[in-house]
Amino acid sequence: MPDPNRPERGDADFNTDYKKFKDKYGKDPRFELVKRESFEMLRLSNPNLDVMACFSNIPKSKGLDIEL
């Protein structure tokens, strides 16, 4: 289901070591854990700014079918 508060399209913005990243920032109140049926991501946003960044457990390179 799309997030009704976030009509933007897309997923991850960055490749990360997701487990390590989540362990470090998962409890940080600036991040929101977003769970979907086939993946999850941490979303960093600020309601006072018109930007956000998403860090997914699926590497961006996989979504783009790029071998690293």
Mean pLDDT by 10 residues, the chain (68 residues): 61 76 94 89 85 79 53
Which residues, 6+ apart, have CB-to-CB distance to 6 below 8 Å? 52
pLDDT at position 8, please? 61
Task: Tell me the residue type at 60.
Answer: K
Confidence at residue 49, expressed as pLDDT on a 0 to 100 scale: 81
> Which pLDDT does position 13 carry in this prediction?
62
Domain ranges of the chain: 18-63
* Residue with token string 């976030």: 6
Output the pLDDT for position 2: 58
